[in-house]
Amino acid sequence: MKLGEEIAQRLAFGQALVELGEEKPNMLVLDADVGPSTQTQLFGHAFPDRFIEVGIAEQNMIGIAAGLSTFGFIPWVSTFAVFMTKRAGDQIRNSVAHTKANVKINGAYGGLPTGRAGATHSAIEDLAVMRSMPNVIVMDPADPQEALVCARLAMEIEGPVYVRTVRCSVPVIFPEDHKIEIGKAVKLHEGKDIAIISCGMMTPRVLKAAEELKKQGISARVLHMATIKPIDVEAICDAAESIGKIITVENHSIIGGLGGAVCEVVSEFAPCRVKRLGFPDIFLESGDDEVFFHRFGLDIDGIASTAKLLAEERGRTKDVH
Amino acid sequence: MDDKALYKLNSIAQQLRRLIIETAHSARAGHTGGSLSEVEILTALYFSFLNIDPEHPDWEDRDRFILSKGHASLGYYAALAQRGYFPIEELETFDREDSALQAHPDMHKCKGVDFSTGSLGQGLSIGVGIALGALKKNKRIRTIVLLGDGECQEGQVWEAAMFAGSNHIPKLIAIVDYNKVQLSNRVDENISLEPFAFKWEAFGWNVLSVDGHDIAELLSALSRADHLSEQGPVVVIANTIKGKGVSFMEGKFEWHGKAPNDQEYIEALKELNLR
């Protein structure tokens, strides 16, 4: 993958599964009739004996995966994040999270980009749901490269991991030797006027927004949270204490996801001003992804202008206290 | 099966009933009705059919058992204790703080529990996964899943049934404790399962129907199911009576999730000791 290249993250993830499948003979993939969409079909073509098509039956898929894991198999389950985390939410909670089953969960089509499928298919609350379950690690990779890194890391962890991917193309921002640590933020940009904390596909555009802000004389610290849970408490507190203003940016509802997690941390350990950028408490609609991202201030200009407003807001910085 | 062996198994079943009543009474908690209905099924499994070793509960080549109707843990724990997985006295800790014997079976806390259950409808999918895993590992083990009848109102049960039937999953045997009564009412007055055998058949399963309180009949059905399951999944519909063995509990939904008080405890034990 070349830096700056635009690649559909689902495709990168599907290829990552094939790459991992070659390394790990005990890895299996289960999908609920959406393999051509999630791109787990690539694994199915490469390893037909290790791909299990369960049909449109997400709840059963989770149980089968949990049962398979008792024999040392490492099953990936994949379907649209919206159905994975709610239709099969109870199954994930009780048969996987509570039992610490070694099942890896891919919530594909995370957030808004669903190929114009609208309200029923957009996963605006999957991070909130998964974050609230004990024993589950929650990842939202930024780009195609990090999707591979997260998938690989998930395989190394014993226990349930939720890896969210998006349908759309995302520019590659990380080099091939990119590494992440569970519960550690990746600092992508240093700054003192505002801290922007983002996850998933929002991070590449946050980086561009930071460059825009720089031109306008505003320096932004950019923290990418590849793992929403556990979250990097230290990095958040440091941003809160040394900068005092935080914007969170996510392809998710502002309730319970990254913004929620950051607010939980700062309100308990380092109170400061936080502005959450994400989807307000509404259902999305069908239409063009970028129209909606723009509407909710989740395009580069929107992120930059919100950051500028907050950076210039008076009376809230740490210096004033 | 000779009469002596059968007599012994029936004595064990009666002992399990006493343990259920004693444990429920002492804990003032538990699902008494559905635990009493599954007693002969558990006796047939744990004291005859299952290839298991209580000394080595994690033995990889053991048969697997999943109590999908996880709330009927009183009966399950009684059977596990009686079979030697843990001391009978441990039953006194049932449902208490920090106990291995949680209200619903926890595989990480209780020896002998192959998979945690509690949220209804999930056990058959787990069983399908285990049977599939065993097949992939070339292990000649049997996977048995015990379901409640009310539980069969859950859609996931039929997702799992459809998958297992369609894929001809071998060495998978489901048993339904068909006691006809669920938490709030008679099953057929809530949502009828009938024609029940026909439904399983339509999903690609071989179906055997038995008197779920007749151990000889259960064992003969299990043996036949074992044979049939080489080709695909088999369900044993075990016709039972909720609260079986204690007259005032029999057939009553009120005894779904209730423990006997002191007076009821004495009366129940009196009835059970008479047999």
Domain boundaries, chain A: 6-171, 186-312
Q: Which of B60, B65, B163 to mutate to test the interface with A (most CBs of A within 10 A)?
A: B163
Compare CB distances from A67 to B108, B118, B129 and report the shortest one's residue.
B129
| Look-up of token digits 């045997």 | B173
> What averages of pLDDT result for each successive group of 10 residues across chain A (321 residues)?
95 97 98 97 98 98 98 98 98 98 98 94 97 98 98 98 97 98 98 98 98 97 98 98 98 98 98 97 95 97 98 66 37
> Per CATH, which fold does A186-312 belong to?
Rossmann fold (3.40.50)
Write out chain B residues lying below 8 Å of A99, CB-based. 107-108, 115-116
Compare CB distances from B119 to A60, A65, A90 and report the shortest one's residue.
A90
Q: Do B129 and A63 touch (CB under 8 A)?
A: yes
Write out chain B residues lying below 8 Å of A60, CB-based. 125, 128, 156, 159-160, 163
Would you call A58 a catalytic residue per the annotation? yes
Rounded to two decimals, the pTM is 0.97
Write out chain A residues lying below 8 Å of B122, CB-based. 59, 63, 90-91, 94-95
Q: Where are the domains of chain B?
A: 3-274
pLDDT at A320: 42
Annotated catalytic residue within A19, A22, A58, A250 = A58
pLDDT band at B274 (very low <50, low <70, confident <90, very high): confident
Compare CB distances from B133 to A70, A94, A95 and report the shortest one's residue.
A70
What is the percent of chain B where pLDDT is above 90? 98
- Of the candidates A226, A274, A297, A256, the one whose C-alpha atom is nearest the C-alpha of residue A131 is A256
Q: Is residue A260 classed exposed, middle or buried when 0-12, 13-18 and 19+ CB atoms within 10 A define those classes?
A: buried
- Of the candidates A66, A161, A134, the one whose C-alpha atom is nearest the C-alpha of residue B68 is A66
| Look-up of token digits 């949270």 | A225
Distance of residue B271 Cα from the nearest chain A Cα, in angstroms: 38
A38 touches chain B (CB under 8 A): no
**CA–CA dist A207, A245 (Å, integer):** 17
pLDDT at A315: 58
> Per CATH, which fold does B3-274 belong to?
Rossmann fold (3.40.50)
pLDDT at A231: 98
Write out chain B residues lying below 8 Å of A55, CB-based. 159, 162-163
Burial A81-101 (b: 16+ CB within 10 A, else e): bbbbbebbbbbbbbbbbbbbb
- Look up residue A123 and give its amino acid: A
Give A131's contacts (C-beta < 8 A, 6+ positions apart).
Answer: A138, A228, A229, A256, A257, A260, A261
Q: What is the pLDDT of residues B184-221, one digit of tens each?
A: 999 999 999 999 999 999 999 999 999 999 999 999 99
Q: What's domain A6-171's superfamily in CATH?
A: Thiamin diphosphate (ThDP)-binding fold, Pyr/PP domains (3.40.50.970)
